[in-house]
Amino acid sequence: MRRTAALILALVAACARGRASTPDAARPLALRTVPVGDSLRLVLEAAPGWRINARVKPVLESADGTLLRFDAPGLTPDSAYFAEPPVAVVAARGRHPIRGTLRASVCAAGEAVCRVVRLEVRGDR
């Protein structure tokens, strides 16, 4: 289980320009995995100065069209942004690898318009 979790952690955060284990100015989002029992929690984190749009919820779309939506209970007072990192939970055992395209709308502090960020996820279990 530890080996599987370590492999997933190393591989799932792949994006088009390389691996992103932490968000930064060039990559405003990062995907982190947290093993929880027989499940795997996918956590979407924004870089400092960036906010994740809660009105357009992040989604991971697999090649077969399956959608995995991210959500969090805590929102900003205007309900426009997540106040805490949005998460999605998947079963860790007996499932296919986590692969697909993650799309999320993010806004930089002080900007009135959000942009869509796309991460290619190539995680093997």
The Cα 16–Cα 86 span in angstroms is: 21
For 10-25, the pLDDT digits (tens) are 333 333 333 335 666 6
Mean pLDDT within 25-51? 90
Is-contact 87 43, C-beta < 8 A? yes
DSSP helix/strand/coil, 83: coil
CATH number for the domain spanning 27: value is: 2.60.40
Give Dmax over CA atoms of the chain in angstroms: 44
Closest CA to 29 of 48, 8, 57: 48
Closest CA to 88 of 44, 35, 28, 29: 44
pLDDT band at 110 (very low <50, low <70, confident <90, very high): confident
Q: 33: domain range?
A: 2-122
How many structural domains compose the chain?
1
Q: Is the pTM of this model over 0.85?
A: no
